[in-house]
Chain A
Amino acid sequence: MRKMFFATAAALAVTIAAPARAADLPLKTETPFAARFSWTGCYLGGHLGGGFAHKDLTDPVQLVQDSFLGPGSTDGITTVSPAPRGVVIGGQIGCDYQFAPSWVVGIEGAASGSTMKGSTTVGLPLGNPDTALVRAKTDFLTSVTARVGYAFDNVLLYAKGGVALAADRYDVAGSFADTPFGFVGLENRIGWTAGGGVEWAFSQHWSASIEYDYYQFGHSVIAMSDPTNVFLGNVDVRQNIQVVKAGLNFHIWGPGW
């Protein structure tokens, strides 16, 4: 009887203890849910890159010679093409919306300071003969663009396009028949831009991008003045700019981010 009690107690103990040991066993590891990166939200950031402009100026020779010698003095048409290039650095803010489920649309405003400048020398055959140094500079570039992209989780391929503004300065300086001159023209020119790039969200809040943008500003007439000699004339400038830049954005998702 006493043996029977111990056997029963032992069996009960085993019965009770067995589930307890089972509960201590490690559970089967579940595959963690990998949340897709959401591009919905707003961001602000900076960018750094290079800018390459193509500018055709027509006609700096006529500008100088006709100013000194009178209208109609210059035969033919001369176009010079300084090729400004330099660093582009600035910032951008924008907002995106992701839908269906991997398409992304957004709007972005960007502004850059630029060191793009270039110069070329052109002859003035009606002078001694003389030459004029033609300089072109773009120091400010800004745009408001819409973008559409396709997200591969945290990598976004996108294209963008919109309106752009460039601030330019042109100088035509030298001496003509031993008289120094210095024409200056400033302009803010509005055009369009189109481009594309790839953006990689490497953390919940940060992303890096590589982008190419093409800016087309058409052509327009710019008033060039030489206050010292009290000259005023025009040049026609046709220009486009290409920019390659790397960006870094900080993403903000709204309340509770």
Chain B
Amino acid sequence: MRGDCGRFIRPFGNCGLFAAVAVVVVLAGFLTIGFAPPVQALPSFARQTGQPCGTCHTDFPALTPYGRRFKLLGYTAGGGEFRTTPFSSSTGSNARAELDKLRGYAKAIDAPAAGGGDKEYVPPISMMAIVGYTHTQGPTVAPPTDPYKANDNVVLTPFSGFWGGAITDNIGAFAQVTYSAPDPLSALSGTPADQFKHTWSWDNADVRFASTASIGPLDLVYGITANNNPTVQDLWNTTPAWSFPYAVSSLAATPAASTMIEGAFAARVGGVGAYTSINDLLYLEFTAYKTLGFSQQNSLGINPFDGPGLFGSVAPYWRVALEPHWGRHSLMVGTFGMYFDVHPWLDPSFATGTTATLPQSDKFTDIGFDTQYQYQGDNYWLTLRGSYIREFQRLDTSFANFASANPTNLLNSLKLQASFAYGGDNRVVLTGQYFDIWGTADATLFGLDPITGSALTPNSNGWMAELAYIPFGASKAFGWPWFNARIGLQYIFYNKFNGTTIGAHDNNTLFLHAWVAM
């Protein structure tokens, strides 16, 4: 859902703060009061499982232990009022029931009765939209700002459609198509490459096969994932694709530097991997990725030139996580990483009309470590998360082509987060996060300090705080399971931005948003 949140969206017009707040409140009120439902994170998942939002999510899209196992089992667990599996057999369901009893995190999913096939079939299709008001301390959009204002914009982005749920008893999918409104004029390059910017694109996609087995003392859940964004398939909200903040302003500036695994190739790759969970304790995964070709990316609505280039070889991704759990406690300690062999575009401006890449490549080695502690109280969830990614950049081709000042660079990314979700329905979620990005100074990549004249670093750091309200989380009132909503007030404070403290506060961002799914 966050995969394309970085896109710009069309403003509602020249609304002021009052109008912006009014729009958000009215829209949220329409969905929360008008329909008065307790809603689900992805309503198609709720229709399939019969579970309320709060079973899978502390605050969507953040997952509970049950939510992680639903994903682990390939989005196939059933038990709901509607049949969302067009092709059925009992084998997978029985295995799931066994696993569910073993876990004991939620009430056991009922194995389908003999007449289970009589349930009405509803395709697992959902939609979502985020409408938000963005205010930054300095101007948000550089001139020419059209079709936006310099600041205080209310925008609708992204708008997405999903297939979310089972296909067979052992195969399920999460697939997203997203509309993003055009960039402001100032974001256009003025080169022929601008013709490859799109509004509709494919977004996060994860198709899974999952099953269970017992080998001696080992209880296994195993599966295959085919996805288009490294870490989108991961079970924890500590890896980049599903990490906090889950919704961000599409207009406010964000730090320029990020590691490759933090979304640089989202929707630009295809990957197939195998995973297993052993004794509900040890999770192992290995996936191999390859970039889509220029025309394939373009056909799917992705501007290839917005990405770093194409892989020269298969990019391996690995994941190991140990998740002991006792009583209401769940702890995860893990590592993940990826190796990228990237051939940059020969002419990203497309002035020469070529879509070729350079013969040499840059190599990026990303190694990440993450941890999560989660506690389920009587009426609340406490979650602590931490992640650290270290990227070693061997910039053979960038250095040779004067695109970087150093042949090698380091880039680090750290996030420390605490989240407290209180309540079932009318759930209030308070999340705070410290973030720090730091690395090697490079005059070509990051520019020169205007005062000292020395090379700038990619360093940015600061704090995020978000207060979210989720009206429907635990019960099954009128309208269930068709709607869901989340209203968030988010503030991002920068101590340092893109290597300097000068003007860093200008990027401080207030983002009031309503996120609705149906």
Contact = CB atoms under 8 A, between A and B. Distances in A.
A complexed with B: yes
B407 A44 contact: no
Contact of A95 (B282, B335, B394, B410): B282
B355 interface: no
B440 A186 contact: yes
Nearest to B408: A186
B443 A227 contact: yes
Contacts of B442: 227
Interface string B109-147: 000000000000000000000000000000000000000
B410 A109 contact: no
B224 interface: no
B320 A93 contact: yes
A204 to B, nearest CB: 13
A146 interface: no
A186 B282 contact: no
Interface in B415-458: 440, 442-443, 455
A140 interface: yes
A255 B219 contact: yes
A187 B324 contact: no
Contact of A225 (B369, B390, B407): B407
B279 A93 contact: no
Interface size class of A (residues with CB under 8 A): 20 to 34
B322 interface: yes
Contact of B407 (A42, A93, A232): A232
A255 B102 CA distance: 8
B407 to A, nearest CB: 4
A111 interface: yes
B369 A111 contact: yes
A255 B409 contact: no
Contact of B322 (A42, A140, A187, A188): A42
Given A188-B365, A255-B219, A255-B280, A227 B405 contact: yes
Contacts of B410: 167, 186
Interface in B326-384: 326, 333-335, 365, 367, 369
A184 B409 CA distance: 10
A239 to B, nearest CB: 16
Interface in A201-233: 223, 225, 227, 232
B413 to A, nearest CB: 14
B246 interface: no
B36 to A, nearest CB: 41
A252 interface: yes
Interface string A70-104: 00000000000000000000010101000000000
A186 B468 CA distance: 43
A140 B326 CA distance: 32
Interface size class of B (residues with CB under 8 A): 20 to 34
B407 A254 contact: no
A93 B392 contact: no
B406 interface: yes
Contact of B390 (A44, A167, A257): A167
B322 A254 contact: no
A95 B278 CA distance: 11
A184 B408 CA distance: 9
A252 B392 CA distance: 33
A224 B174 CA distance: 46
Contacts of A114: none
Contacts of A145: none
A162 interface: no
Given A186-B392, A225-B407, A44 B333 contact: yes
Interface in B266-292: 278-282
A174 interface: no
Contacts of B320: 93, 109
A188 B392 contact: yes
B406 A225 contact: yes
Nearest to A232: B407
B281 A167 contact: no
A142 interface: yes
A225 B394 CA distance: 13
A195 interface: no
A213 to B, nearest CB: 18
B409 to A, nearest CB: 7
B282 A109 contact: no
A185 interface: yes
B281 A187 contact: no
A141 to B, nearest CB: 11
Interface string B298-323: 00000000000000000000001010
Nearest to A205: B324
Contacts of A186: 392, 406, 408-410, 440
Contacts of B335: 93, 109, 111
A184 B335 CA distance: 29
Nearest to B281: A254
A93 B280 contact: no
Contacts of A42: 281-282, 322
Contacts of B367: 111, 142, 165
Nearest to B393: A186
Nearest to B103: A255
Given A93-B333, A142-B367, A223 B324 contact: no
B362 to A, nearest CB: 13
A254 B280 contact: yes
Interface string B211-227: 00000010100000000
Nearest to B395: A223
A93 B322 CA distance: 8
A227 B280 contact: no
B181 to A, nearest CB: 40
Contacts of B443: 227
A140 B409 CA distance: 15
Contacts of B326: 257
Contacts of A250: 324
B474 to A, nearest CB: 27
Contacts of B281: 42, 252, 254-255
Contacts of A109: 320, 335
11 contacts: A44-B324, A91-B333, A142-B367, A185-B407, A186-B392, A186-B408, A188-B392, A250-B324, A254-B217, A255-B102, A257-B326
Interface of A: 40, 42, 44, 91, 93, 95, 109, 111, 140, 142, 165, 167, 184-188, 223, 225, 227, 232, 250, 252, 254-255, 257
Given A40-B217, A227-B405, A254-B281, 8 more contacts: A95-B282, A140-B390, A142-B367, A167-B390, A185-B408, A186-B410, A225-B405, A255-B219
Q: Please provide the 7 A-B residue pairs with the shortest distance between their CB atoms, ordered closest to farther.
A: A254-B279, A186-B408, A223-B407, A188-B392, A227-B405, A252-B324, A93-B322
